[in-house]
């Protein structure tokens, strides 16, 4: 018997956290993000650095997936991946992306968008060599986003790479490295009762300063 889809109309939670006022915001969105990220860390949220990464093809077909933030500073927001993956190919053809963080326990969301550039090979190597050996071998073993006939193909590739790098010196693959999103827009969202949430957008002006606007929820 076919399984009937569940009724989702009644699935909702009321947001009861304190609000977000213009006076609460730092003039620099990076500093504001840092404060919220620190609060999320203190709340012991699992995968606190998980973020939705949205990319698009040159003709505007979007795709999104969860990746892990691995650093943020005045240069932008960094993550690492296989350059030959779907997202890598899309970013090479259309170097612009959007990020979303959602910390449900804090009833907070942050949206970030901007142009994308590759990190330096030095930065990519530094992060790569900080990873566990298994993760480094996996970067060599997986031809990310390609069709795989069976799980055994991946297992065989991992065995092959383990033998290739049996001395433990797993080098940085030429097809693997980092990207950095350079924000030109931030949005900070705080859940509020009655779905009248607080939203503030930071937009980069032509002179490089940030303009802050409250948005309707």
C-alpha 140: how far from chain center: 22
Catalytically annotated residue among 157, 195, 199, 214: 195
Regarding beta strands 108-118 and 62-68, do their DSSP bridges make them parallel or antiparallel, or are they unpaired? unpaired
Sign of CA dihedral 22, 23, 24, 27: positive
Locate 112 and state its tokens.
């970030």
Locate 195 and state its tokens.
């779905």
Query: Does the active-site annotation cover 21?
Result: no
Q: Looking up tokens 């968008």, which residue turns up?
A: 113
Of 94, 66, 69, nearest to 80 by C-alpha is 69
Of 70, 180, 67, nearest to 117 by C-alpha is 180
- d(C-alpha 193, C-alpha 191), whole Å: 7
- Residue 83: exposed, middle, or buried by beta-carbon count in 10 A (0-12, 13-18, 19+)? buried
- Phi/psi for 204 (5° steps) reads -75, 125
Polymer length in residues for the chain: 217
Could you list the active site residues?
A: 195
């Amino acid at each position: 018997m076919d399984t009937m889809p569940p009724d989702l109309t009644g699935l909702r939670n009321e947001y009861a956290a304190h609000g977000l006022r213009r006076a609460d915001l730092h003039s620099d969105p990076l500093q504001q993000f840092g404060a919220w990220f620190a609060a999320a860390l203190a709340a012991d949220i699992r995968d606190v650095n998980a973020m939705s990464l949205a990319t698009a093809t040159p003709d505007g077909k979007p795709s999104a997936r969860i990746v892990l933030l691995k650093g943020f500073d005045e240069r932008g927001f960094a993550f690492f991946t296989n350059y030959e993956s779907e997202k890598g190919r899309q970013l090479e053809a259309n170097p612009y992306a959007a990020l979303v963080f959602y910390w449900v326990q804090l009833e907070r969301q942050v949206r970030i968008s901007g142009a994308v550039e590759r990190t330096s090979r030095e930065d990519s190597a530094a992060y790569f060599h900080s990873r566990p050996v298994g993760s480094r071998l996996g970067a060599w073993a997986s031809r990310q986003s390609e069709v795989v006939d069976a799980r055994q193909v991946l297992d065989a590739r991992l065995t092959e790479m383990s033998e290739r790098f049996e001395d433990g010196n797993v080098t940085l693959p030429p097809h693997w490295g980092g990207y950095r999103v350079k924000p030109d827009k931030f949005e900070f969202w705080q859940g509020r009762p009655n779905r009248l949430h607080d939203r503030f957008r930071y937009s980069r002006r032509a002179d490089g300063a940030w303009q802050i606007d409250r948005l309707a929820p």
